[in-house]
Amino acid sequence: MISLDILAFGAHPDDVEIGMAGTLAKYKEKGLKIGICDLTMAELSSNGTVEIRQEEAKRAGEILGLDARIQLDLPDRGLSLTEAHIKEVVTVIRTYKPKVVFAPYWEDRHPDHGNCAKIVEEAAFSSGIRKYNVEDDLEPHKVENIFFYMINGMHQAQFYIDITNHVEKKTNALLAYESQFEVGNNGVVTPLTNGYVDSVISREKVYGKQIGSVYAEGFFAKGPLILNNDLLGGM
């Protein structure tokens, strides 16, 4: 099984792309191994189907050059801080051994995003405990750092990553989710179908201005940051 440098978790397919597709594309270009793990199949989404969403996630992953895309089957709108959910994520972390883990920022209008953050944070800690057992006989793995990306929010981030040269890949990865961001046949209007992709890219432009670039993505950390020239130096 491939070991990843960066593994980003999302509650639903498209969460990670919204929050940090540019960063993933940037570090893939640098030669790092990158992956996404979606906790649910977004089976309760107002538009599209599970099958369509899976195809869209596959296309988005190809655009970003993912080395792994992992799909769990936890319940949409049923994510909770339970031992069963934590163990599923521990299994993923121990299997792919990422150096750095990303999760949604815990302040978000969608409760699944905040609950995803809690589950991933607990799992990242438990993964490194030698006597913490999961069903598969996997060796403990200690994640070097965990960071948090924004989905719906526009908060003052703790640090930013310049994605000016990778915003096109981010845009294309988002547009792969046509069922979510456009009102198709038999579709309904939602907050995602009213210029949502444009608003995400506009947010990244605002963040870019804050650091003297054109586009950037914002992130949070709960611990002290030690950042060198390369993000992995402090991740």
119 occurs within a structural domain: yes
Give residue 136's domain range.
6-233
Q: How many domains does the chain have?
A: 1
Instruction: Write down the pLDDT at residue 209.
Output: 97
What are the residues whose beta carbons fall under 8 Å from the beta carbon of 229, sequence distance 6 or more? none
1 occurs within a structural domain: no
SS3 54: helix
Two structure tokens written together for 204:
């990244």
pTM score: 0.93
Task: Specify the CATH number for the domain of residue 215.
Answer: 3.40.50.10320
Instruction: Write down the pLDDT at residue 232.
Output: 53
Contact between 32 and 20 under an 8 Å Cβ cutoff? The reply is no
Query: Residue 19's closest CA among 194, 116, 208, 153?
Result: 153
Interatomic CA distance for residues 88 and 129, integer angstroms = 15
179 occurs within a structural domain: yes
Low-confidence ranges of the chain (pLDDT < 70): 227-235
193 occurs within a structural domain: yes
Instruction: Write down the pLDDT at residue 181.
Output: 87
Instruction: Write down the pLDDT at residue 234.
Output: 46
Instruction: Write down the pLDDT at residue 228.
Output: 63
Two structure tokens written together for 20:
């940090």
112 occurs within a structural domain: yes
pLDDT digits (tens, 9 = 90+) for 125-179: 999 999 998 777 899 999 999 999 999 889 999 999 999 999 999 999 999 999 9
Interatomic CA distance for residues 89 and 63, integer angstroms = 25
Amino acid at 24: L
